[in-house]
Structure 1
Amino acid sequence: MDREYLHSTQDIDFKFYQNEKDFVVDEIPMGEFLGRGNYLILKVQKVELTTWDMIAIFAEYLAIPAQKIGYAGLKDKHATTTQYLSVETKYEALLKKFHHNQIKILSTTRHSHSIRMGDLVGNRFSINLYELDAIDAGKIEKVARKIAKSGLPNYFGYQRFGRDAGSIEQAREMVKGELFIEDSKLKSFLISVYQSDFFNEWLRERILLSKESGSSEFVLLSGDVFVSKDGKLSTPKLIPSKEFAAKKIAPTGLLCGRDAFRAKYDAAEIEKKYDDEFLQEKGQRREALVYPSDINCKYVKKETMLNISFTMPKGSYATVFLESIAGKNYSAKDVKRDKKSKKR
């Protein structure tokens, strides 16, 4: 199902590619590392590898189970990405001899505990957009700043659903009991695909509703579930427009499952269409909007290229931001440069 957006530059057709030069990601850790403790923190850079691939390489080199290596989040494969890993300090000497063509240890420090999933603030992206003139580049920067101010619909990007999005149908069949999956990791992945697809469909309807009302902002409904900056969920009786405008709270959508906080009143009428109350896995809420920040644009006339760098909160997708700017949906095939084409 198509992802809909509130702001775009639909008359501008730019290109971007997910590769090591044109798509760069730097993880922003939760806070400062102590510089002492029983865990070694590695700042690593990887090229054209998934996070799982990289962890498997370190696990094999250190002769330890992959579960012994801590990490905060998964990073794109087709990119140059920097992130943090943790291992016990007893492997420090061995890691000084580590060498791999696609992985570089940039620095090390120590900390009191291992890195856990979610231990990051967000990610900093630097992406090259091609086939643009200076006027189009200016329009893109203007729309990007408008999105950052009013909020980006927090869709799950195409990466969530596998290369051809076939995992969505597979997930539905598994949940219905028509497909048996034995592998626990695959089963967990398909459950997340199932929840994510429902969330995206719900968010699309809410964006269309906002557009139909003539608003260029996300329209709130009575019964919406909001999350505050400290992570508390609430359903106020009155629509909290002022708090929303001040970015003190954000509306959320449902990732269906047990024990999840559900919407009420008008918001519930839409939400229940994208719910599965019989799903046994734990449900949760996801912010409907996120706010890209620290946007910086640099146009290179000689290459008809605009470099756009920005920071995104954890769990959100840079490609969704680019989709919103372009007013179109991308797939993995759209952003892969043909190997035969000229390298930039």
Structure 2
Amino acid sequence: MKLVYPLNIKNDFVFNSTPRDFTVEEIPLYEFTGEGEHLVLKVRKKEMTTWEMLDAISNHVGIRRRDMGYAGLKDKHAMTIQYISLPAKFEEKLDAFSHEKIKILDKVRHNNKIRVGHLKGNRFEIRLKKVLGVQKDKLDSVLKWIKSHGVPNYFGNQRFGTDGNNWEDGKKLIEGKLKIRDRKTREFLMGSYQSYLFNSWLCRRMELTLLLQEFSEADTEKLMKLPEGSLKGSKEQKNFFKLVEGDLMMHYPYGRLFEVEELSKEAERFETKDIAPTGLIPGTRVKRSAATARMLEEHFDEEIKMNGARRYAWIQVTEIKKNYVEEKAHYELSFVLPKGAYATNVLDVLRGNAS
């Protein structure tokens, strides 16, 4: 069975990252209890960062920003709905809070402060414009592919700053060629370089996968400069993204990390969306892959004095809904992604340029 990645299906559409055309809503990890010493706010914001929103609320009630809790950072250029927490004793002061870019939609008590990562995922609503004629059918076709197979889990452009080069300063910091005193700025830039290395690795794995679509394992080994036999059992896999010996997998959408032992067996579990492969965010206290996977990973691994991690290389797109408004040539789309995943990955596949 040959699986063709929709790179050859080029779609022309207009997407503007504005509050009118782009909405992100957090999906909480669990229901809030309705009692406790913390107050959880469901907040809608636009045209401001999460930090700016937290500052506006914390300054109003008279607390430090670090006394507030949040689950994730949300895009400045979207309409975003997210959950934050603060000590419940400040509830009365919120009654007088008013801000043109922030609206508190709901309040509920809870036992704990919200922590970073306490999310199931995010729901995205996107409006694509100038979708004319055959473009609508092409988008339908690619969406069907995405629903069946998923998308690569690259870090989004916003991770790398306005000019896309934050990672360069992060690299200089790691190499000792740049000095920055502020710890948070330093860690942000170094984190950008970690993300760059992950994306570079994933690009390499996508190249391998696409080569296996067209060539034999032996020819792909030569093209990728891998030892003979290192890709044995990869081409025959039914899933699009090909696993290799030594890959580190995680149960999906969250769970335990483990190494591939029987390639065909784990490939079948990956196809059923029970597990997914991971890539390396280099740093300390993180497990490295082995065998063929390590050969592909080691070129993007560096000594970085920050905690490393394993990140899903491939993710599923769920709860996909679409609506075509013919008279306006608008293609309205909504879907859910796991936490830490970027909507740009879906948009790139829809455009046909996510290699």
Alignment of 1:319-334 (within 5 A): 319-328=344-353
> 1:135: how far off?
3.1
Cα RMSD between the aligned structures?
1.5
What secondary structure sits across from 1:25 in the alignment? strand
1:137-182 deviation line (CA, Å, top 9, x unaligned): 2321221231232121000011110011121211111110000111
Alignment of 1:93-108 (within 5 A): 93-108=92-107
- Alpha-carbon distance between aligned partners in 2 of 1:139 and 1:13, rounded to the nearest angstrom: 10
Tell me the TM-score normalized by structure 1. 0.91
What secondary structure sits across from 2:125 in the alignment? strand
Alignment of 1:102-141 (within 5 A): 102-141=101-140
The one of 240, 251, 257 aligned to 1:228: 251
User: Aligned pair 1:273/2:272, yes or no?
Assistant: no
What secondary structure sits across from 1:100 in the alignment? coil
What secondary structure sits across from 1:81 in the alignment? strand
- Tell me if structure 2 keeps the 8 A contact 1:20–1:78: yes
- Alpha-carbon distance between aligned partners in 2 of 1:201 and 1:166, rounded to the nearest angstrom: 14
- Tell me if structure 1 keeps the 8 A contact 2:167–2:190: no
Where do 5+ consecutive residues of structure 2 fail to align? 214-234
Moved more, 229-238 or 283-292: 229-238
Alignment of 1:168-317 (within 5 A): 168-214=167-213, 217-229=240-252, 231-239=255-263, 240-276=266-302, 278-317=303-342
- The ranges of structure 1 where at least 4 consecutive aligned residues each deviate by more than 4 angstroms after the TM superposition are none
- Alpha-carbon distance between aligned partners in 1 of 2:10 and 2:66, rounded to the nearest angstrom: 47
- Tell me if structure 1 keeps the 8 A contact 2:12–2:135: no
* Counterpart residue identity of residue 309, structure 2: Q
Q: Number of aligned residue pairs: give it.
A: 324
- Tell me if structure 2 keeps the 8 A contact 1:7–1:147: no
- Alpha-carbon distance between aligned partners in 2 of 1:75 and 1:134, rounded to the nearest angstrom: 34
- Alpha-carbon distance between aligned partners in 2 of 1:209 and 1:180, rounded to the nearest angstrom: 38
- Alpha-carbon distance between aligned partners in 1 of 2:9 and 2:75, rounded to the nearest angstrom: 26
> 1:328: how far off?
3.1
What secondary structure sits across from 1:258 in the alignment? coil
- Tell me if structure 2 keeps the 8 A contact 1:6–1:207: no
- Tell me if structure 2 keeps the 8 A contact 1:8–1:143: no
* Counterpart residue identity of residue 251, structure 1: P
1:263-317 deviation line (CA, Å, top 9, x unaligned): 10011101000001x2221111000011111111111112111001111110000
1:91-126 deviation line (CA, Å, top 9, x unaligned): 111101110000000011111111100011111111
- Alpha-carbon distance between aligned partners in 1 of 2:95 and 2:298, rounded to the nearest angstrom: 54
- Alpha-carbon distance between aligned partners in 1 of 2:165 and 2:291, rounded to the nearest angstrom: 34
- Tell me if structure 1 keeps the 8 A contact 2:121–2:339: yes
What secondary structure sits across from 1:303 in the alignment? coil
Alignment of 1:153-172 (within 5 A): 153-172=152-171
Tell me the TM-score normalized by structure 2. 0.88
- Alpha-carbon distance between aligned partners in 1 of 2:312 and 2:248, rounded to the nearest angstrom: 10
Moved more, 12-21 or 227-236: 227-236
- Alpha-carbon distance between aligned partners in 1 of 2:319 and 2:136, rounded to the nearest angstrom: 17
> 1:237: how far off?
2.1
- Tell me if structure 2 keeps the 8 A contact 1:38–1:113: yes
> 1:7: how far off?
2.8
- Alpha-carbon distance between aligned partners in 2 of 1:189 and 1:122, rounded to the nearest angstrom: 22
What secondary structure sits across from 1:128 in the alignment? strand
What secondary structure sits across from 1:237 in the alignment? coil
Where do 5+ consecutive residues of structure 1 fail to align? 330-344
* Counterpart residue identity of residue 284, structure 1: A
- Tell me if structure 2 keeps the 8 A contact 1:154–1:316: yes
- Alpha-carbon distance between aligned partners in 2 of 1:312 and 1:109, rounded to the nearest angstrom: 25
* Counterpart residue identity of residue 277, structure 2: P
Which residue number corresponds to residue 340 of structure 1? none
1:221-280 deviation line (CA, Å, top 9, x unaligned): 00000011452111132211111111111100000011211110011101000001x222
What secondary structure sits across from 2:100 in the alignment? coil
- Alpha-carbon distance between aligned partners in 2 of 1:311 and 1:56, rounded to the nearest angstrom: 28
What secondary structure sits across from 1:143 in the alignment? helix
Which residue number corresponds to residue 15 of structure 2? 16
